[in-house]
Structure 1
């Protein structure tokens, strides 16, 4: 049973991510948790304890719960899928804290949410809820670009830095997607120098091959282009349907802009991004 968290602010962008998730997990038994987060100040009953405030809080919570139930009904009517269950959750909290709390409480397998997807990784992350999630939530995160319609996943691109070999347990979300669609996994690494390849990296590559045994995989070394350009060209030339990378809580923004697979990454605006937390992969 897959447990999927779907944060929503009732926008078209959030709805698009929800419909994408319903198609992605169409043939899989799962529970969708629809989450709406209200500002934490609204929940400060201790400091705002007047009758008027209590009425405002109850009204906000009731209104959110009503909208979530209506949304759940729309999803059920749209998918008509008896393999899917839908539950609703409302929280007074900061967005990332609320998501982290629900992930732990419900033992969520993956978080799916909409992204702006306007033209690159900076637009996707910087100043967004997604950035905060990746910095604080170890659960896999699937960011779905705005207006993206679901398509079968044939090719998965995976950005490698060859710092370590990945454990199978942390790769489970990727395995499930690859198995469902019989998708090929294309690992790529961008070398800043042609002589960068070492025996240690060759060893890690062999360990990765072992972890992905049974899957259709191939490896690519890209040179003579900055990482963001190389990634864009790789995604477009290979017609990548899903881009995957690993990130970590510590110094994530430094990692985003530093020497890592996510440095200045610019990817096709119609390519969803699956982020796995490094702590779950080592």
Structure 2
């Protein structure tokens, strides 16, 4: 992990992500790319419209002033930080930056109940989580560091998730974390404990996992099961696989209850299949 991207709108929840990204950058001696997107009308962002170009320049200068203040934060000291201001739609700009800079990890902020609700029903964060080819770490509250002792990886442990679990395993072992493999049983998708354990053990046998537990959790929905199990062990991080709409829609279908949202304050990292 040598290149970390943090999109920012200079909000409080974006600062949550930047703090954690800074911690990871120091831990891995990585470069931090901090990206701000100016979503201006196209005619303001092009030199062809000279009459209105000064307006675009004004917003560009304002963004750089905010960057100047942001980069003075103590937690960024000693880190190689590359600031970028782009005229682009936020989602497209983030994806383009990932390709342009060969990014290894995206860190984004999302605050509290409202943040999670927005995350999974159509915000830019949701689009990035669904479509990014690199892992996306979503931070939901203010935390100076990310210390991962207990990492939950939720899946149905089909063979198509082997490649993503390999990425999750690498991330977890960089923290020497205990990995809790989790399969959630629901009334509509039931599997016996014996069959579930057998499936997880067969899946895990393909990897060298130094510290691992196998868990079957019964709940009314997969979403509730992931969040409730994670709460029960006080997990530090939840990991899931995604493969476009199928992967994330399977776990987070956009109809989360208020109670579930309130339980979802721990970080989540997604890995594209």
**TM-score scaled to structure 1, two decimals?**
0.81
The aligned runs of 1:81-160 (5 Å cut-off) are 81=78, 84-118=79-113, 121-160=116-155
CA positional deviation for 1:199: 10
| Counterparts of 2:171 and 2:234, CA distance in 1 | 17
Structure 2: tracts of 5 or more residues without a match: none
Q: How far apart, in 2, do the equivalents of 1:224 and 1:12 lie?
A: 34
Residue in 2 aligned with 1:34?
34
- In structure 2, the residue matched to 1:6 is 6
| Structure 1 residues 254 and 165, CA gap change in structure 2 (3 angstroms) | closer
2:22–2:75: 8 Å Cα contact kept in structure 1? no
Aligned partners of 1:44, 1:218: CA distance in 2, in Å? 55
Q: Tell me: CA distance 1:44–1:80, structure 2 relative to 1, closer, same or farther (3 Å).
A: closer
Kindly report which structure 2 residues correspond to 1:1-282, keeping only aligned pairs within 5 A, or say none: 2-41=2-41, 44-45=44-45, 49-74=48-73, 77-81=74-78, 84-118=79-113, 121-168=116-163, 170-171=164-165, 173-192=167-186, 196-197=191-192, 205-251=200-246, 254-256=249-251, 264=256, 266=260, 268-278=263-273
Deviations 1:191-212 (A, max 9, x none): 2359625999777534531343
| CA–CA distance in structure 2, aligned partners of residues 115 and 70 of structure 1 | 22
How many residue pairs were aligned?
Answer: 269
For residues 222 and 106 of structure 2, what CA distance do their matches in structure 1 show? 27
Change (3 A) 1:256 1:189: closer
Contact 2:169/2:209 (CA < 8 Å) preserved in 1?
A: no
* Residues 43 and 57, structure 1, Cα contact 8 Å, conserved in 2: no
| SS of residue paired to 1:6 | strand
Contact 1:119 1:269 in 2 (8 A): no
In the TM superposition, residue 226 of structure 1 has moved relative to its aligned partner by 2.9
Quote the offset at 1:11 in angstroms. 0.9
| Distance in structure 2 (CA, Å) of the matches to 1:167 and 1:43 | 46
1:27-76, Cα deviation, whole Å (9 max, x unpaired) = 21100000000114156555x844331111122223223322432232xx
User: What per-residue deviation string (whole Å, max 9, x for no partner) do you get for residues 53-108 of structure 1?
Assistant: 1111122223223322432232xx33433xx3110111111111000000000010
Separation in structure 1 between the aligned mates of residue 178 and residue 50 of structure 2, nearest angstrom: 59
